[in-house]
Structure 1
Amino acid sequence: MANRLLPLPDSLPPADQQLACLLVTDLVGSTRLARRLPLAHYMALMTDLIQILILHFEAHGGQVLQHQGDAVVCLFTPAQVPAALQSALKAHSRAAQLHLAELLGEQLQLRAGLAVGEVLTGPVGGMVSAYGLPVNLARRLCSAAQPGETLACPSVLPYASAMVLQERAVSGLSGFEDLRTAYSVSAAATDALSAVPGQMKTG
């Protein structure tokens, strides 16, 4: 027990605590896709998809933190929650319309999860990473989403109350078993989200 109370080493990189919105997107059925395609084709497809998603989220003002295989983690400020929701909605169509996937005879679908809360951000291995419950919750919501769906935690409501959020029951989220309600962001929200000024970079 005493060892747990030792001071942290001075060599730890500086961290920044902030309220943030975390967005996680993941490709549905990536393992089956990897088994079905030649490795070179699978790698080219994943590279194309990840590059497009990174550029897409950055165009909406997000900061891409990391990607793990076919998953992308992105950070937005609370004021950018409408932009995060809009980028998640449009990411589904971007993936579905990927030209290389069409050439390979594949139809790609994403899942997405969003959560708002306190996180610590800082450099890890030369890249900016985020730590905190919103990161874990966004991942769990992403996993719980249906193909083509975006699930948001209740904490997004103060920042997106005017948007089209449909309440949906959730259960069995590892580490968040007490969470019973999330919000599905319907495609009908796109027009309302687009009406929010100053959310997307144009140049």
Structure 2
Amino acid sequence: MTAPDGDRSARYTRDELIAELGLSPEYAEKVWNAFGFARRSTPDKIFTDDDLTALRLFADSESTMPQDAQVATARAIGQTMARLADWQADQLRELDRNPDVPWTIGQMSAALGQIQQLIWRRHLALALEHGVEHDSDERLDLVVGFADIVGYTSLSRRIALDELEALLESFEEDTFDIVTANGGHVVKTLGDAVMFTCHDPAAAAAIAVALHALSESERIPPLRVGLARGRVLSRLGDVFGEPVNIAARLAGSARPGTTLVDEAMSDGVTDERYYLKSVPTLSVRGYKRLKARALELNRHFDDGQIGGPVDGEPSIDVGPQ
């Protein structure tokens, strides 16, 4: 097996590129490490004139983007690309071992690079065209959701690695389809968990219900979902803030097959397809008295009996699993 073909138009080593850009060696090393290449220097010529032009635009932006922001941007790009490259390398090695595949690794990697450019350009165009306007400090009013697989740790010890891989792949694919189909955005997947955001509380409720429906088959174990609404900081493709913390705590406190929501989220759910059950006040890390409610489909909706639980219906029990 051979490595992907090198770029014959490469003209610069890393040190030559740094000199052309006029960067200090210390700052260049910091950016290089942020891209994910710590202690991986090479004397080979690996940079082209196009690379130089693009990196010069990045390096010359200090007047509008401080160096710490440049390093943070480099880190976000590096982490994303490293994860993608690791997965692609596994796929390419598997294809290379298949005698029925007629292409070399170099040909396949070149095709992947072209496809990535195509898909990235399209996603960027859509984001610029349909992105929601927000304040200059990138603070947004969103619903943040967490969904995780109940009993994943013990399950991962009992099943074979190929079964575990199939489970995680199915979970990631299905949750991505559900979130995006309902107007949400998958922020990240964490193996047995997914974090997503949504602008509309009703759409977030629909996502939660649909996620639980995945467990009706034997492919996906029961899930727990937490939803919290509020102002978050959007930074480098991730979101931060109290709603993120609360959503995670709610998911961790939910019983299998249930969704817990905070007060702000419950106030935003006015759709008659759902009702909200009272639950005991939660005591979780960082929140000694966290008020929450359990969101469920309104089982009387189809019968024309719109409303919440019938009189006298008990609250559900909640607690960590």
TM-score, reference length from structure 1: 0.77
Count the aligned residue pairs: 172
Q: How far is 1:25 from its partner? A: 0.2
Q: How far is 1:19 from its partner? A: 0.8
| 1:188 maps onto 2:298 in alignment | yes
| 1:74 maps onto 2:185 in alignment | no
Q: How far is 1:9 from its partner? A: 3.5
Q: 2:286 aligns with which of 172, 175, 179?
A: 175
Instruction: Point out which structure has higher relative CO (alpha carbons under 8 A, 6+ apart).
Output: 1
Distance 1:138 1:42, change over 3 A: same
Structure 1 residue runs without a partner (length 5+): 1-6, 102-106, 193-203
Runs of 4+ in 1 over 6 A off after TM superposition: none
Counterpart CA distance in 1 for 2:195 and 2:168 is 15
Q: 1:114 aligns with which of 227, 237, 240?
A: 227
- Equivalence for 2:174: 52
User: Quick check: 1:112–1:151 contact (8 Å CA) kept in 2?
Assistant: yes
- Equivalence for 1:84: 204
Distance 1:109 1:9, change over 3 A: same
Distance 1:176 1:41, change over 3 A: same
- Equivalence for 1:199: none
Counterpart CA distance in 2 for 1:9 and 1:40 is 41
Structure 2 residue runs without a partner (length 5+): 1-65, 74-135, 303-321
* AA aligned opposite 2:264: S
* AA aligned opposite 2:283: G
Q: How far is 1:36 from its partner? A: 1.0
| 1:61 maps onto 2:170 in alignment | no
Distance 1:18 1:91, change over 3 A: same
User: Quick check: 2:282–2:292 contact (8 Å CA) kept in 1?
Assistant: no
User: Quick check: 2:266–2:293 contact (8 Å CA) kept in 1?
Assistant: no
Distance 1:66 1:190, change over 3 A: farther
Q: How far is 1:116 from its partner? A: 0.4
Larger radius of gyration: 2
* AA aligned opposite 1:186: E
Task: Give the alignment's Cα RMSD to 1 decimal.
Answer: 2.3
Q: How far is 1:32 from its partner? A: 1.4
User: Quick check: 1:89–1:190 contact (8 Å CA) kept in 2?
Assistant: no
TM-score, reference length from structure 2: 0.50
The structure carrying a bigger strand percent of its residues is 1
User: Quick check: 1:53–1:91 contact (8 Å CA) kept in 2?
Assistant: yes
How high is the sequence identity, in percent, across the aligned residues? Answer: 27
| 1:130 maps onto 2:239 in alignment | yes
- Equivalence for 1:3: none
Counterpart CA distance in 2 for 1:183 and 1:49 is 25
- Equivalence for 2:215: 95
Counterpart CA distance in 2 for 1:39 and 1:131 is 33
User: Quick check: 1:22–1:75 contact (8 Å CA) kept in 2?
Assistant: yes
- Equivalence for 1:196: none
Report the more deviating stretch, 169-178 or 146-155. 169-178
